[in-house]
Amino acid sequence: MKVKNKVIVVTGGGNGVGRELVLSLIERGAKVAAIDMNETSLLETEKLIASGKKENISLHVLNITDKSAVEKLPKQVVARFGSIDGLINNAGIIQPFIRVSELDYSIIERVFNVNFFGTLYMTKAFLPFLTKQAETHLVNVSSMGGFFPFPGQSIYGAAKAAVKLLTEGLQSELANTKVKVTIVFPGAIGTNIMANSGLKNPVTPEANSGNSMLKSLPPKEAARIIIDAVESNKSRVFVGKDSKMLDLMYRINPKLAVSFIAKKMKSHLE
């Protein structure tokens, strides 16, 4: 699906990859409904848009874990732009870098609520509108931590693995419809996901990638890869060399790959 003249909803649009998705989509001629729970961040994103294109964005301050608020959102977007052609579920948070046995249930629930249930609520709310259009696209952002275990990020990985299976299930369920579905597996990306998750200095799949095996990808480049995947209707896309490498390692020898990462991350759990 070419994004020009399409109306696309982006969660997490106030910063990081989400902000770059918003900016890049508008640059390519799309209209964007930017979603974020931080109004200040959304306004900062809006300021970066060229003055002649500001009419192509609408800002929606919303917590995606609020199911009632999410269910009202599609009609708000339609009221603003007239239709909905795409949804990119990008918003996500990480967990502190500690063992499951040390995690409070409040943190576990928050990580799952944002990463999985937020994605699920948005998907269910928007699918009835996406199926009405001649050509639409759904993108769910998982993580390389969603297919590969990182010690100290087990809950985060489990939530992103749930996003992976949900999205692959949707690919099968929507195979005979006009809705194309893409699952995204980002590797290390230079964003402020740690601060946005309320954490000071954790080590995560996205923030560290196995003790800095490869350089983090700039958010703008990550956004380009994701949008290109939409325009070429790819079913799955790995964002970053580290994500691609770990996928290959895991497929060839799962036990060796898991042992390799466990050794790399061991010092952070001691």
Using DSSP's 3-state secondary structure scheme, residue 66 falls into: coil
Q: Is 156 a catalytic residue?
A: yes
Q: Evaluate whether 12 touches 42 at the Cβ level (below 8 Å).
A: no
Amino acid identity, position 193: I
Q: Is residue 87 exposed (0-12), middle (13-18) or buried (19+ Cβ within 10 Å)?
A: buried
Tell me which residue has tokens 């949804």: 87
Query: What letters, b where the CB count within 10 A reaches 16 and e where it falls short, cover 42-57?
Result: beebbeebeeeeeebb
H-helix or E-strand spanning residue 59: strand 57-61
Q: Please tell me what DSSP assigns to residue 218.
A: P
Please give the Cα distance from 216 to 18 (Å, whole number). 16
Please give the Cα distance from 211 to 45 (Å, whole number). 31
**What are the angstrom distances between the C-alpha of 186 and each of 126, 147, 149, 180, 261?**
23, 11, 14, 19, 17
Q: Please tell me what DSSP assigns to residue 240.
A: S
The neighbour count for residue 217, using CB atoms within 10 Å, is 23
Q: Evaluate whether 183 touches 160 at the Cβ level (below 8 Å).
A: no
Q: CA dihedral defined by 227, 162, 164, 172, rounded to 10 degrees?
A: -110
In the set 105, 121, 156, 250, the catalytic residue is 156
Residues acting as catalytic residues: 156
